Amino acid sequence: MVIRSQIAGCGSYLPQRIVTNHDLEKHVDTTDAWIVERSGIRQRHVAAEGENTSDLAFEAAKAALANAGISADELDLIILATATPDHTFPATAARVQARLGMTRGFAFDLQAVCSGFIYALATADNFIKAGQVKTALVIGAETFSRILDWNDRGTCVLFGDGAGAVVLKAGEGQGTSADRGILSSHLHSDGRHYDLLYVDGGPSSTKSTGFVRMKGNEVFRHAVVNMAEVVGEALVANGLTSSDIDWVVPHQANIRILEGTAKKLAIAKERMVITVERHANTSAASIPLALAEAVADGRIKKGQLLLLEAMGGGFTWGACLVRY
């Protein structure tokens, strides 16, 4: 018998306001045609004034707890993956913990930008496997609209706001890939690429928040290679092949990265959950948003094998194989 972290529920939240590519055409030198052709994005949700990352995270958390049929006082741990916290400190997770009415256990933020949800899932899984935690809430929540330079057409058209969450519960398995739960997670980073995707501000360097800066085409080049490599690593570790995967739930940065990865792995595009056209890149929120959507509409079913994968600033990248 081995301990397995099993997904007991998922939830998500998107701010009400939708900004289309045509809306952006009025503010920056861009076109709907360019954005769709280069990224696959057609629209993004943007948080209202006064609506913060903790508000988005709280809504997604409530939905995930309801879906799991548990209350917040059953949680031992909250990990909130975000690069856009409400404040420099305390952790936005602490705010969510208080709003949920959870007064025991512990809560913290985790920062791995667009790979944040994969890193958070792996971290929660390890707490569960170590026996320290029985029930964990893992959230990815972002308000990237607050760190975009709305005059920089190379970045402002690509990102959106949103949140997604999953409840993990300790269960048992036989130690095979037929077990329900997280089968394995694979994390990587390479800090030599820090300057290809970063925010040009921060409390220690500039005492300001700063804006996203990206050398998009160089990030793109690394993304397809890193994704394919880490997915291969996850499959080999479990004695599986890409034909065993029922659904790929990828980080949603660019439709061309998703198509490139699908091609490299010989996985049909129809087996990918794709939300990038409606959500744009919501960083740490994109995977749990896509997961919650495909679970809610019945595409993802109990017992199916899911591959979650992401790449982001740092660079960071990683993958998790999960039997839902």
Query: Residue 151 pairs with which residues in a beta bridge?
Result: none
For residue 135, which amino acid is it? Answer: T
Phi, psi torsion values for 42, nearest 5 degrees: -115, -30
Catalytic residue (choose from 45, 67, 281, 320): 281
Contact by Cβ (8 Å): 230, 264? no
Between CA 9 and CA 14 the distance in angstroms is 18
Q: What SS3 state is found at 61?
A: helix
Catalytic residue (choose from 45, 186, 251, 279): 251
Q: Report the interface residues with ligand UT7, using CB under 6 A.
A: 30, 34-35, 38-39, 114, 153-154, 157-158, 216-217, 219-220, 223, 253-254, 257, 281, 311-312
The number of CA neighbours under 13 Å toward the Cβ of 228 is: 16
For the question of residue 281 being annotated catalytic, the response is yes
Contacts of residue 190, defined as CB under 8 A and 6 or more positions apart, other chains included, come to 314, 315
For the question of residue 10 being annotated catalytic, the response is no
Catalytic residue (choose from 10, 21, 52, 114): 114
Between CA 183 and CA 221 the distance in angstroms is 29
User: Quick one: 39 or 43, whose CB is closer to ligand UT7?
Assistant: 39
Give me the residue whose beta carbon is nearest to ligand UT7: 216
User: Quick one: 83 or 167, whose CB is closer to ligand UT7?
Assistant: 83
User: Quick one: 62 or 264, whose CB is closer to ligand UT7?
Assistant: 264
Q: How far is the CB of 286 from ligand UT7 (least distance, A)?
A: 8
Q: How far is the CB of 44 from ligand UT7 (least distance, A)?
A: 13
Q: How far is the CB of 99 from ligand UT7 (least distance, A)?
A: 28
User: Does the CA dihedral 74-80-86-91 come out positive or negative?
Assistant: positive
Q: How far is the CB of 229 from ligand UT7 (least distance, A)?
A: 15
Q: How far is the CB of 288 from ligand UT7 (least distance, A)?
A: 15
- 9: which 2 tokens? 């529920």
User: Quick one: 30 or 189, whose CB is closer to ligand UT7?
Assistant: 30
Residue 227's alpha-carbon distances to 86, 200, 216, 217, 309, in angstroms, are 30, 26, 16, 16, 7
Q: How far is the CB of 141 from ligand UT7 (least distance, A)?
A: 15
Kind and range of the H or E element at 265?
helix 255-265
Contact by Cβ (8 Å): 231, 307? yes
For the question of residue 114 being annotated catalytic, the response is yes
Contact by Cβ (8 Å): 285, 140? yes
For the chain, helix (H) and strand (E) counts, in that order, are 10, 13
User: Quick one: 63 or 319, whose CB is closer to ligand UT7?
Assistant: 319
Give how far the C-alpha of residue 266 lies from the chain's centroid of Cα atoms, to the nearest Å: 23
Which residues form the catalytic set? 114, 251, 281
